[in-house]
Structure 1
Amino acid sequence: MAVKIDALDLRNHLKNNLGSLYIVYGDELLLASEAADLIRSAAKYKGFADRVILVAENRFDWLKLKEQSQAVSLFSTNKVVDLRIPTGKPGKSGSEALQDYVKNIPDNTITLITLPGLDRNSRASKWFAAIEKCGVSIEVKKIYREQLPRWIAHRLKLQKQTIDQDSLQLLAGRVEGNLMAAHQEILKLGLLLPEGHLSMDNVKRAVVDVARFDPFDLGPAILKGDRGLLTRILRGLEKENLAPPLVLWVLAEEAKVLLRVKKALTGGMDMRTACVDAGAWGLRQKLIPNIVHKITTETLRNAIIQASQIDKQIKGIETGNAWANLLELGLSITPSRT
C-alpha cells in the first residue's frame, strides 16, 4: 500500500515502522542524503546489517537487481538493497526491471531507492507508479527562503536548542537560502553554545566568531593538500578565540570521511559511490580522489584516536595544549601537494 511521508516526519515514522521498500527523491542533496541515512540506520538497528549497493548509471545491468530478488536461500541474511538512480531515468529495461522487482521483494530484504528530483513525466511513468504503490515514498522538497526559519528551528530542536523569531531571521538572512550553509551554522551553534534557549546576543557572537576565519574552510584546505592555508586558518581561529570543539569536530569529520572512502575503495567500490556513501558530495567529492591515495588508513585511524585525546584536553580531563595539537592533527591528515 502506498504511503507518503514528509522528510521531517521520517525519524518518527522509523521509530514505529520499518517497511520493505523506501523511495527517497528530490534535489536537496543534503536532506535526501540524511533521509537515506536514517533509513539505513533504522534497518541496521533492526538486524539488516548486510548491504548491497547498486548504482544504475549508463549501461547498468538491470539483471543485478533481479538477482537480488532471487538470492534467497536457507542461509540468507537480512540485507538492504541500496539502489541509486542518479539520472532519475532507468530507461526501458530499468523500467521493466523495477516493476518486476517490487512484486517480488524477499521477506529478508529492505530496499532503498534514491532518485533526484523527478519531472512530471517521470512521476507519471509506469515504473514510478509501481514502486510508489508498493512502498513508502519521501519527497525531499526544496526549502525556500520563507520556510528556512521553521527548518532551522526544527534542526535546533534536534540538538536540544531553542531560539526566538528574531534570531531565526538573523540566521536565515545570513545563509541566504543556502541549505548547506544553514546546516553549518546550526552545527556551530550546537558546538559553541549549551543546550537550552539561545539568546540573540549569543547567536550574534557565534555568527561573528567566524566572520574572518571560518573553520569549515579547513576541510577544503585538507583535501587540496594546502598545509600553509590550513596553518593560517587554525592560527587565525586561535587568535579570534573560537571555541576549540567546533574546530576539532571539523578536523575529525574529515578524517572519518576519508577513512570511510578508503575502506569502501578497498572493498571494491568505485570512487564516486564510495564518496557518496561516505557523505562526501559537492566540492568534497571533487577533491577526495586527488588525496585519498596519498594518505594511509593507519594515519587516519591514528588521527581519530588523537582527536579523542584532544577532546579530553578541551574538557580539562587531560593536560595539553589543545590548539597546538589541533594543528598537529590537521597537518597529519593533509598530505603535501607534491
Structure 2
Amino acid sequence: MATVNAQQLNDVLASRGLPPIICIFGDTPLLVDDAVQSIRNYAKSQGIHERQRLVQDAQFDWSQILASGASMSLFSELRLVELELPDAKPGREGGDALRSYAEQPNVDQIFVVLGPKLKQEQLKAKWYQVLTRDALVVAANAPDRAALPRFIDARARRYQLELDREALNLLADWYEGNLLALDQELQKLALMGLPQPLNLATVRQSSQDQSRFSVFALQEALLHGQVDDALHRLHRLFEEDVEIAILNWMFQREWQTVHALQQALGRGESIGQAARALPIWKNQEAAYHQVAQRLQGQHRAIIDVLKRLEFAFKRDSGEDYKTLATHFILLWCLPDRVTRLSLA
C-alpha cells in the first residue's frame, strides 16, 4: 500500500501510471473531487475514455462490483469504474465484494473507491486492509493551519493568481476548515483582474465588498471588541439564514485561540512568541492581547455559553440559539458588565 496526499497525486500518476485499484478517502470533499478529477484527466491522456460511476445506497447491488469488468470495453482497452461509499460502511455483503475484487482485480479496468475520512475501526476493517494492500491510497484531508498558506498559494497559482504573504495568511485565517469557500473566493479574485501580487488590503476590501456581514466580519468585530458592530452583524447573519455550524465553529475557534494565548502568556512567553505558535498574524497581536487580558477570569462563563450554544445547535436543548449568541458577544466584549445568563 502506497499512501500519498491529494496534492502529490498528479506527480505520482505521471511517474507511476494508473494502478489497478485507487482508494481516495478524506475529510475535505474539495480534495476528494480534485483527486477524482486528476485520475479522470490522466486516464483520458492515456486513451481511457469510458467511465462508470457507482454510488452505494440502501438498495445497492454489490454484484455490480464483480460484474463491472466482465465484458471488454468496445472502445478502449481499459475503463474507469468509480465507486463512492458515502459513509464508508459497505456492510458485510459489500465488504465481501470488495475483498473478492481486491484479491482478483479485473485487468480491463481501473477501480477507484472514494469516501469520507475513515475512523480507526474502519481502517482496521478486513475489507479496507485487503482492498488497500496493493492499492494507491490518496489521503484527501485538509492541511493543518501551519501548512494552509502554502496550500492556498499553490491553489491560487492554478488560477494564475499571486498573493503576498499577508494576503495568504488572511485567507488562511478566514477559510480554515472551509476549503470549498476558499476555492470559490480564489476563483472570484482571479476573475477581478486586480494588480498582482494581491496584498492584504486588496483581499480584505474585495471580500468585504462581496459579503459585508459574513461570519468573518463578525469575527473581526469580536476581535476588536466592537460590541455594536458585532451585534448588528450577528442580526444580519440571522436575517440571511447563516449556517449555524460555521457560526458555532467561529465562536469555538476564537475562544480556543484566546485561551491558548492566555496560557502561553501565563508561562512567561512574549506575545510575539505565543502568536507564532497560534493562528494569529503579526498585525493581530495587539488586538488578541487585549482580548486575552479582557477575558482573564472568564473561562468558566465562556465555556458555559459555548456548551449551551452547542447543545442548542445539535441537541435541540430548547434554548434559543440567537439569544445565546447575543449573550456570548456581550460577554466577550463587555465581560465586566455581563452576568451569567439564566434562561430557566
**1:42-121 correspondence runs (5 A):** 42-72=42-72, 77-121=77-121
Equivalent residues of 1:23, 1:135 under 8 A apart: yes
Distance in 1 between the 2:175 and 2:34 partners? Answer: 20
The answer for unaligned runs of 5 or more in structure 2 is 215-344
Task: Compute the RMSD of aligned alpha carbons.
Answer: 2.5
Structure 1 residues 44 and 74, CA gap change in structure 2 (3 angstroms):
closer
Paired residue for 2:28? 28
Structure 1 residues 207 and 75, CA gap change in structure 2 (3 angstroms):
closer
* Structure 1 residue runs of 4 or more that deviate by more than 6 Å after TM superposition: 73-76
**1:124-139 correspondence runs (5 A):** 124-139=124-139
Distance in 1 between the 2:165 and 2:74 partners? Answer: 57
Structure 1 residues 83 and 192, CA gap change in structure 2 (3 angstroms):
same
Letter in 2 for 1:133: R
Equivalent residues of 2:98, 2:127 under 8 A apart: yes
The answer for unaligned runs of 5 or more in structure 1 is 215-338
**1:98-177 correspondence runs (5 A):** 98-175=98-175, 177=177
Letter in 2 for 1:91: G
Distance in 1 between the 2:77 and 2:118 partners? Answer: 33
Paired residue for 2:3? 4
Letter in 2 for 1:161: L
Q: Secondary structure at the match of 1:4?
A: strand
Offset, 1:208: 3.3
Distance in 2 between the 1:37 and 1:20 partners? Answer: 17
Equivalent residues of 2:166, 2:199 under 8 A apart: no
**1:253-264 correspondence runs (5 A):** none
Paired residue for 1:321? none
Offset, 1:64: 0.9
Distance in 2 between the 1:113 and 1:170 partners? Answer: 35
Q: Deviations over 1:65-107 (max 9, x none)?
A: 1112432488874211111111211111211111111232233
Q: Secondary structure at the match of 2:106?
A: coil
Structure 1 residues 13 and 76, CA gap change in structure 2 (3 angstroms):
closer
Structure with greater Cα Rg: 2
Distance in 2 between the 1:154 and 1:75 partners? Answer: 36
Distance in 2 between the 1:152 and 1:94 partners? Answer: 37
Q: Deviations over 1:256-275 (max 9, x none)?
A: xxxxxxxxxxxxxxxxxxxx
Q: Deviations over 1:287-313 (max 9, x none)?
A: xxxxxxxxxxxxxxxxxxxxxxxxxxx
Equivalent residues of 1:30, 1:180 under 8 A apart: yes
Structure 1 residues 76 and 18, CA gap change in structure 2 (3 angstroms):
closer
Offset, 1:204: 3.4
Structure 1 residues 64 and 177, CA gap change in structure 2 (3 angstroms):
closer
Distance in 2 between the 1:175 and 1:51 partners? Answer: 34
Q: Secondary structure at the match of 1:32?
A: helix
Structure 1 residues 174 and 122, CA gap change in structure 2 (3 angstroms):
closer
Q: Secondary structure at the match of 1:71?
A: coil
Letter in 2 for 1:4: T
Equivalent residues of 1:6, 1:140 under 8 A apart: yes
Offset, 1:213: 9.8
Letter in 1 for 2:169: Q
Equivalent residues of 2:2, 2:136 under 8 A apart: yes
Matched pairs, number:
213
Distance in 1 between the 2:31 and 2:117 partners? Answer: 12
Equivalent residues of 2:47, 2:76 under 8 A apart: no
Paired residue for 2:13? 14
Letter in 2 for 1:151: F
Q: Deviations over 1:19-53 (max 9, x none)?
A: 22110001211111121121122112212111122
Equivalent residues of 1:188, 1:206 under 8 A apart: no
Q: Secondary structure at the match of 2:197?
A: strand
Q: Secondary structure at the match of 2:166?
A: helix
Letter in 2 for 1:11: N
Distance in 2 between the 1:56 and 1:22 partners? Answer: 17
Letter in 1 for 2:7: L
Distance in 2 between the 1:117 and 1:14 partners? Answer: 22
Letter in 2 for 1:97: A
Structure 1 residues 92 and 206, CA gap change in structure 2 (3 angstroms):
same
Give the stretch that moved more between structures: 97-106 or 75-84: 75-84
Distance in 2 between the 1:11 and 1:76 partners? Answer: 22
Letter in 2 for 1:82: E
